[in-house]
Chains A and B, each alone.
Chain A
């Protein structure tokens, strides 16, 4: 038997609230706000309070899905990335780079967000960069 709490950072928005994941025998059973986190001082929003619920959700995607008409079909990463690259190239050539935009995310690291805007500006050639918080 093992019960412990693991201090981590909320994955939802960019505030960086400290939270404790309650772990019983390797399984997540709950979330508590960290009292000693200087960011949230023992408080959380409704999303932070429920982060343990999605971690082992059966609805999570485990591999890329490629749209084929009305349905989504499972594919390999290689296949999905090749398709995305091919279609982005086609769209850029046909309609111009400003026909494409990218949405970054608070759930990513700063570095990943940097990479995405770099990809948008340097590879795609557009300044159409926005953020998931405005979705």
Chain B
């Protein structure tokens, strides 16, 4: 619980500036996403820390997108960590959410979480509470980069081999907003096959993370087969940065090279 976040949200609710605050609440020892519409509910606020910092995070931006579709006229506040804020910046660019209808309530991540995530920027610009942590370089990507191509292919095919095609990586992804998904397109992947084609299935998804993935890591947390998806998509983000000079989710006014929509 954070007194600063609670107070910030209560003020917004009292002033009528927001219809609700999308965050997390604690109930009977569980942590669940919840839309707080009444300031009296705020005592049950949770920041998503169960046994470890940030181990009960949920795709709040994905829920926010659904709320905005149902209630386009309303303004909502949302709990964001550094990754969630990067996600919102891209969702604004991709016209999935209107920037003027979203108020960010920022939470900085502690070092323990930033290290576990190997996070590039473990705090949002809209920081309300929590630390302004340091960038952590990815050892996991460095380890894969250190392999020669044969070893790398062997590594990834062995990892993908455990896939049971639950589609959890896509379902939980706050950046997967397409109405039609390539992973369900029979002309591109064998839709009736379990396990999915290796490595095609995962490389198709990895390609679709280009300019989308903001490294929240929810996919890896949702994977029942413990496939290191985050390492894969971090590598994708590195390639995007090297080839296009674009860092996904780091600016609001820079046009995405993968989007024809001009910003501002």
Sorting the interface of chain B by its residue count into under 10, 10 to 19, 20 to 34 or 35 or more gives: 35 or more
Q: How far is the CA of A46 from the CA of B22 in the complex (A)?
A: 26
**Which residue in B20, B32, B167 is a CB contact (below 8 Å) of A7?**
B32
CB B220 to nearest CB in A, in angstroms, measures 10
Interchain CB contact under 8 A, A35 and B58: yes
Q: Complex formed: what's the CA distance from A20 to B62 in Å? A: 14
Residues of B within 8 A of A18 (CB): 30
* Residue in chain B with minimal CB distance to A17: B224
Kindly provide the distance from the CB of B39 to the nearest chain A CB, expressed in whole angstroms: 16
Asked if A3 and B31 make an inter-chain contact with CB atoms under 8 angstroms apart, the answer reads: no
Per the bound structure, the CA–CA distance linking A110 and B174 in Å amounts to: 37
Are B33 and A32 within 8 A (Cβ)? yes
Alpha-carbon separation in the docked complex, A37 to B192 (Å): 30
Instruction: Give, as a whole number of angstroms, the nearest-CB distance from B123 to chain A.
Output: 22
Distance of A67 Cα from B131 Cα, bound (Å): 67
Instruction: Please state if B167 and A3 are interface contacts (CB–CB under 8 Å).
Output: no
Whether A35 lies near B67 (C-beta < 8 A) is no
Give the distance to chain B from A28, nearest Cβ to Cβ, in Å.
12
**Residues of A47-81 whose CB lies within 8 A of B:** 48-49
Indicate the size class of the contact surface on chain A: 20 to 34
A117 within 8 A of B: no
Contact A1 B37 (CB under 8 A): yes
> Contacts A20-B33, A42-B222; is A1 near B19 (CB within 8 Å)?
yes
Given A1-B19, A35-B56, A43-B224, answer yes or no on A24-B33 (Cβ-Cβ < 8 Å).
Answer: no
Give the contacting residue for B167; candidates A4, A34, A46; CB below 8 A: A46
Contact A24 B171 (CB under 8 A): no
CB distance from B205 to the nearest CB of A (A): 15
Chain A residues contacting B223 (CB-CB under 8 Å) are 43
Docked-complex contact B66 and A49, CB < 8 angstroms: no
> Closest residue of chain B to A40, judged by CB?
B224
Q: Which residues of B contact A93 (CB under 8 A)?
A: none
Among candidates A33, A36, A48, residue contacting B30 with C-beta atoms closer than 8 Å: A36
Q: Choose from B20, B32, B167 the contact partner of A1 (Cβ within 8 Å).
A: B20
- Please state if B66 and A44 are interface contacts (CB–CB under 8 Å): no
Return the chain B residue nearest A34 by Cβ.
B30
* Contact yes or no, A36 B37, CB < 8 A: no
Q: Which single member of B33, B50, B57, B166 contacts A5 (CB below 8 Å)?
A: B33
Q: Which 3 A-B pairs have the closest CB atoms?
A: A3-B35, A43-B224, A35-B56
